[in-house]
Amino acid sequence: MPAPPPSPSPGPVAPSALGPLDCTSEQPLVIEHQTIRADDLAIDAHQGCNLTIRSSHIIARLPLHVHGHARVTIEDSVIEGAATAIDLHGDARLSARRTTIIGAVDRHGFGSMTNFEGVVHQPSTAPALAAPPARASGPAVVVYRGGLKSPVECGQDQTMVVEGHSLLGGLTTIEAYGNCQLIVRNTHIGAGATALDVHGNARVTVESSSLDTYGYRVLSLAGQSQISFQNTSVRGSIERLGSAQIIDLGGNSLP
């Protein structure tokens, strides 16, 4: 039996911060270089979810619930459950490679699990998971590289990357609020009213992208929010309220 892969380096994830992460119909998600901990269910993949877990450690009473028509790919990761590691239902499909699965894999219905090379299956060491060590707060990074539809919402303690898209919203296309950390890269954002609405304590970085609108403003900034632009074209008026900040990192065309 091959040796278990080393545990991936933990990302800046607070214990039970996501609890649970929900991946649903037509929503491709990539979780990469993260440690996600939850008291009960960590990740719920269902309907037409397309989820990739890469170089990550998922630890919970039930780390992964896969059902409906969900498709999940796990690479170079550790899936650690208190008793069951993966619960597979319906017509769901799951594949894994170079991954350690700690806990039972329960399969119901027509769901299938395909093991590629280097998958190690171990019984759970629980009755109960050890309490997670204290870590810096902040959520896993969710990367959207395909199939994303507007409106897009990044709220509270989410960290999100939107890359390689063309998004057009009827009113607001992307809204960032709370303590959201959002990176927009190689993306076009258009709207009938506001392309990008940033408020609260949100922090947004826009790189190598373009923003425009058919409405009266392309960007709305409020509260303690902050947005940085680099190599980006912004066409339309900007509304700024409170102490919100715009940072020009160079290479931009700004109004």
Place of tokens 């080393």: 6
Q: Which amino acid is at 235?
A: R
| Same domain, residue pair 31 and 104 | yes
Residue 140's pLDDT is: 52
Burial of 126 (0-12, 13-18, 19+ CB in 10 A): middle
Angle CA(34)–CA(19)–CA(161) in degrees, nearest 5?
45
Residue 16 has pLDDT above 50, yes or no: no
Q: Average pLDDT for residues 131-154, to the nearest whole number?
A: 57
In this structure, the answer to whether residues 118 and 191 fall within a common structural domain is no
Do 117 and 168 have their domain in common?
no
Query: H or E stretch including 203?
Result: strand 203-207
Domain count, the chain: 2
- Per the structure, the complete domain to which residue 168 belongs is given by 145-248
- Is 4 among the domain residues? no
Confirm whether 76 is domain-assigned.
Answer: yes
pLDDT score at 255: 87
Q: Are residues 101 and 162 in the same domain?
A: no
Q: Which domain-ending residue is among 122, 157, 192? A: 122
DSSP codes, 71-103? EEEEES-EEEEEEEEEEE-TT-EEEEES-EEEE
What is the spatial distance between Cα 238 and Cα 130, in angstroms, rounded to a whole number? 50
Confidence of residue 73 (pLDDT cuts 50, 70, 90): very high
Asked, for residue 16, whether it belongs to a domain, the answer is no
| 166 and 72 share one domain | no
Do 116 and 199 sit in the same domain of this protein?
A: no
CB neighbour class for 86 (10 Å; exposed up to 12, middle 13-18, buried from 19)? buried
- Measured CA to CA in angstroms, residue 74 lies from 44, 93, 137, 239, 254 at distances of 14, 11, 25, 43, 41
Q: Does pLDDT of 29 surpass 60?
A: yes
Q: Give, in order, the Cα–Cα distances in Å from 46 to each of 2, 72, 84.
A: 31, 10, 18
Mean pLDDT for the chain overall: 79
Asked whether the beta carbons of 146 and 169 are under 8 A apart, the reply is no
Spatial separation of the C-alpha atoms in residues 195 and 235, rounded to whole Å? 10
Q: Which residue has the higher pLDDT, 91 or 150?
A: 91
- How confident is residue 132, by pLDDT bands cut at 50, 70 and 90? very low
Label the pairing between strands 28-32 and 141-144. Answer: antiparallel
Q: Which two tokens stand for residue 54?
A: 């890469």
Residue 230 covered by a domain: yes
Cα–Cα distance for residue pair 138/228, rounded to 1 Å: 20
Same domain, 92 and 27: yes
